[in-house]
Amino acid sequence: MKSKRVARRQLLRGGGAALLGLAAGARPASGQIWRSAHSEDGKRLMRYGERSRFVKSERYISDNKVNMEMHGDMNGFDALTPLDEQMGVITPASLHFVSSHGNAPPDIDPQKHRLMIHGMVDRPLIFTMEELKRLPSVTRIHYIECRANSPRGGEERTLQQNHGWISCSEWTGVPLSLLLKEAGVKAGATWVLGESAEPTKGAKSIPLGKAMLDTLIAYGQNGEPVRPHNGFPLRLVVPGFEGNFQVKWLEAIKVVDRPYATYWEHTSFVKGAGATMSLGNYWEQGPKSVITSPAGGQRLSGHGYYQIVGFAWSGNGAVRRVEVSIDGGRTWSDAQIQDPALPMALTRFQLPWRWNGTEAVLQTRCTDDRGQVQPTKAHHTAFWGDWGPPHGNPIQPWRVTRDGQVLNAL
Amino acid sequence: MRCNVIVVVTMIQVCAALAHAQAPSFGLGRTPTESELNPPYATIGPEGQGLPPGSGTAAQGAVLFIGRGCSICHGPTGAEGPGPHLTGTHTYGMRGTGSGYDALYEGGNFQGRGIKNFFSAPLVWSFINKAMPLQRQGHLTMDEVYSLTAYLLYRNGLIQEDDVMDANSLPRVQLPGRETYAYNPQHPAWSSWKPGLPKKMSK
């Protein structure tokens, strides 16, 4: 008991010394001089913080080959989230994935930006950003996942390459239903069109039912204005729907009586071209999970104790169960789901694991609260066909070799 | 009895109308002007809803394609790149990138960016009008957009060189891309979405 108290006192004293050290420009453990908090540079860092120079997490910018596959020309741009370095369910806005057909993020002055609600409404309306912020707002945590976030084969493919088109944020904004009620939706309307101010003027058709249910017009992301690459100053958040529904740089909502099949909608976002079974649109993304550690591209440092950790999510609701297999799917154990486990949000899971140095194949299986179960690659292909699954949610196996290397085993 | 039925039907109609036309409750926002409601870059509907007056032919468009700089990105005839290939049999802009996708798309079974893969001709018009030339939108007149649309349709063998394209004729041009898109606004999954609808849908 006594020794514990001493230890605590020592700890407190140590902490105080460290704080003093920071203020006075002392020498921290790494041996480098920290910038004085009272220098101009130190003040700049206090006004708007910067991460430690020892933290190097970055988005992975897709090469031209992927760019061509994703966008059909060199104008699109993509950057993938480093999921293995994400500490909780929230993705830092600076690391939120980016995928755009739109040439470049537009540089929008929020003072000049307007949102128009028009089309089949009784009272077309134009809102300034200031007016939108005066309206009742909501804050909700939701993931956004690119429709193309489909894991592929190839031993060397990393977690970031196979799964990096997903991120999760706390979004703040106005429910679209509120604005639609203000404008008064006319009888016969069944869809809304979200129109973007981006250079290629993308627009996306969204079913009116979803627009009225839980769609958000967001101006806030993780407590700050939405970042330019993610749609500053205004974007749609359509919870659980494919990424392409979540129109960035939103400038208009047009209420219409049919899907508008706009340029990117019919050239990119349809499934099963020429197939007997054809799909026009794809709504909620299926249940999905991935182990982020140990995961493709990593190496285990030695035998012994590890936490198998990762993310699970579903476009249909909350994650109910995550099962982990360490033998390629022969046997399964339930992982512990960590709070918060919110609907249509990244959810963390973990399971203790002791690696004895033998080869292992680690994989997870997610069940959502609608009872849907994440499929294997074989089931996924049987269901959708083998041409470019719209949203690849197959089980992702990672193979741990005897020397600790983790490889993609899909 | 008949009177009751009329009353009930009327009540249902009144309720439906109320549900749709609720009075504004916050009083924020202003009424857009006519020009704000009908901007030159308005999104055009798939059957040509909203197409403005104007007209043009492929012959006129051929001159504009060079003169307005379309050829700088798309090549002299729209088939050479380096930007998206708009004409020719292989209408996807990634040939020769070694991506491994060439063979897959070569059969024409891909929803590429080419004109033939558009869902309808008015959407070709709409995209040119809204987004082209990239980063320099608003430099084309309505007649010029009709002419350039006509040129691309002609180069893809979908209309004749002297066919006049306007708000009436453009929606009537048949595009093969329509066949590859399961477009069915009357389908319950399309007209009244609710959570948990089947993921797959036949045409």
Q: What is the DSSP string of A36-97?
A: PTTSHHHHHHHHS----TT----PEEP-HHHHHHHHSSTT-EEEE--GGG--SSPPPGGGS-
Please check whether residues A189 and A312 belong to one and the same domain.
no
A32 Cβ contact partners less than 8 Å away, ≥ 6 residues apart: none
Return the bridge partners of A235, or none. A218
Of A73, A127, A193, the CB nearest to B83: A73
Q: Is A236 helix (H, G, I), strand (E, B) or coil?
A: strand
Which pLDDT does position A326 carry in this prediction?
A: 97
Please check whether residues A171 and A71 belong to one and the same domain.
yes
Q: Would A307 be classed as within a structural domain?
A: yes
ipTM of the prediction greater than 0.95, yes or no: no
Q: What is the DSSP string of B98-131?
A: --S-HHHHHTS-S--SSGGGSS-HHHHHHHHHHH
Please check whether residues A260 and A293 belong to one and the same domain.
no
Please check whether residues A67 and A212 belong to one and the same domain.
yes
Least Cα distance to A161 among A286, A298, A364 occurs for: A298
Residues of B in contact with A74 (CB under 8 A): 82
> How, if at all, do strands A191-196 and A250-256 pair?
antiparallel
Give the number of other CB atoms < 10 A from CB of residue B81: 16
Strand order in the sheet with A77-80: A60-61, A77-80, A98-100
Which pLDDT does position B175 carry in this prediction?
A: 85
Would you give the DSSP letter of residue A319? E
Count CA atoms within 13 Å of residue B115 on its CB side: 27
Give the number of other CB atoms < 10 A from CB of residue A220: 17
Please check whether residues A296 and A261 belong to one and the same domain.
no
- Cα–Cα distance between A345 and A237 in angstroms, integer? 12
Please check whether residues A251 and A123 belong to one and the same domain.
yes
Which pLDDT does position B198 carry in this prediction?
A: 59
Give the number of other CB atoms < 10 A from CB of residue B41: 13
Q: Would A25 be classed as within a structural domain?
A: no
Q: Which residue has the higher pLDDT, B112 or A323?
A: A323
Contact A73 B93 (CB under 8 A): yes
Q: Would A218 be classed as within a structural domain?
A: yes
Q: How does the average pLDDT of chain B come out, rounded?
A: 76
Percent of chain B with pLDDT over 90: 41
- Cα–Cα distance between A217 and A213 in angstroms, integer? 13
CB B185 within 8 A of CB A258: yes
User: What token pair was written down for B112?
Assistant: 């590429």
Domain boundary among A211, A232, A267: A267
Which pLDDT does position A360 carry in this prediction?
A: 98
- Cα–Cα distance between B12 and B15 in angstroms, integer? 5
Strand order in the sheet with A250-256: A125-128, A114-119, A250-256, A191-196, A203-207
Q: Which residue has the tokens 């060189």?
A: B161
pLDDT interval class at B106 (50, 70, 90): very low
- Cα–Cα distance between B124 and A292 in angstroms, integer? 43
Please check whether residues A114 and A150 belong to one and the same domain.
yes
Please check whether residues A134 and A249 belong to one and the same domain.
yes
Using a 10 angstrom Cβ sphere, with 0-12 exposed, 13-18 middle and 19 or more buried, the burial of residue A195 is buried
- Cα–Cα distance between B190 and B183 in angstroms, integer? 9
| Helix, strand, coil percentages for chain A (3-state, nearest 5) | 20, 30, 45
Q: Would A4 be classed as within a structural domain?
A: no
Q: Is A221 helix (H, G, I), strand (E, B) or coil?
A: strand
User: What token pair was written down for A303?
Assistant: 């035998």
Q: Which H or E element spans position A159? A: helix A159-163
- Chain B residue with minimal CA distance to A187? B20
Which pLDDT does position A373 carry in this prediction?
A: 93
Q: Which residue has the tokens 């909620």?
A: A284
Return the bridge partners of B165, or none. B56
- Taking the CA of residue A233 and the nearest CA in chain B, the distance in Å comes to 17
- Cα–Cα distance between A172 and A156 in angstroms, integer? 38
Least Cα distance to A266 among A284, A280, A283, A254 occurs for: A280
- Average pLDDT (B169-193) is 77
Which pLDDT does position A152 carry in this prediction?
A: 86
Please check whether residues A117 and A244 belong to one and the same domain.
yes
Of A117, A134, A201, the CB nearest to B41: A201
Please check whether residues A325 and A373 belong to one and the same domain.
yes
Give the number of other CB atoms < 10 A from CB of residue A102: 23
Can you give the CATH number for the domain in which A109 is found?
3.90.420.10
B:10-39 residues touching chain A, CB 8 A cutoff: 16-17, 20-22, 24-26, 28-32, 36-37
- Chain A residue with minimal CA distance to B104? A387
For each of the domains in chain B, give its residue range(s) and CATH number, in order of start.
46-184 (1.10.760.10)
Please check whether residues A260 and A350 belong to one and the same domain.
no
Least Cα distance to A216 among A305, A144, A307, A125 occurs for: A144
Contact A103 B134 (CB under 8 A): yes
Please check whether residues A139 and A240 belong to one and the same domain.
yes
Q: Count how many domains chain A has.
A: 2
pLDDT in tens, chain A (410 residues): 344 444 444 444 444 444 444 444 455 555 566 678 888 888 888 899 999 989 999 999 887 666 666 665 666 788 999 999 999 999 999 999 999 887 788 999 999 999 999 999 999 999 999 999 999 999 999 999 998 898 988 999 999 999 999 999 999 999 999 999 999 999 999 999 999 998 888 899 999 999 999 999 999 999 999 999 999 999 999 999 989 899 999 999 999 998 888 877 765 555 443 332 333 456 788 899 999 999 999 999 999 999 999 999 999 999 999 999 999 999 999 999 999 999 999 999 999 999 999 999 999 999 999 999 999 988 887 776 655 445 689 999 999 999 999 999 99
Instruction: State the Cα torsion A178-A179-A180-A184 to the nearest 10°.
Output: 100
CB-based contact, A200 to chain B, within 8 Å: yes
- Taking the CA of residue B57 and the nearest CA in chain A, the distance in Å comes to 22
Q: Would A168 be classed as within a structural domain?
A: yes
pLDDT interval class at B191 (50, 70, 90): confident
Which pLDDT does position A67 carry in this prediction?
A: 65
Which pLDDT does position B101 carry in this prediction?
A: 41
Can you give the CATH number for the domain in which A396 is found?
2.60.40.650
Q: Is A309 helix (H, G, I), strand (E, B) or coil?
A: strand
Residues of A in contact with B181 (CB under 8 A): 261, 266, 270, 273, 278, 280
Q: Which residue has the tokens 């609608």?
A: A370
Domain limits for position A92: 60-267
Q: Would A39 be classed as within a structural domain?
A: no
CB A190 within 8 A of CB B190: yes
Q: What is the DSSP string of chain B?
A: -HHHHHHHHHHHHHHHHHHHSPPPSS--SBPPPHHHHS-TTPPPPTT-TTPPS-EE-HHHHHHHHHHTTHHHHH-TTSSS-SS---SSS---TTTTS--S-HHHHHTS-S--SSGGGSS-HHHHHHHHHHH-STT-TT-S-HHHHHHHHHHHHHHTTSS-TTPPEETTTGGG---GGGGGS---TTSHHHHS--TT--S----
Domain boundary among A213, A232, A267: A267
- Cα–Cα distance between B52 and B42 in angstroms, integer? 10
Which pLDDT does position A273 carry in this prediction?
A: 38
Q: Is A296 helix (H, G, I), strand (E, B) or coil?
A: coil
Least Cα distance to A217 among A171, A261, A285 occurs for: A171
Q: Would A20 be classed as within a structural domain?
A: no
- Cα–Cα distance between B68 and A71 in angstroms, integer? 24
Give the long-range contacts of residues A68-71, CB within 8 A, separation 24 or more: A68/B93, A68/B94, A68/B97, A68/B99, A68/B101, A69/B94, A69/B99, A69/B101, A70/A99, A70/A148, A71/A101
Q: Is the pLDDT reported for residue B49 higher than 90?
A: yes
CB-based contact, B40 to chain A, within 8 Å: no
Q: Would A155 be classed as within a structural domain?
A: yes
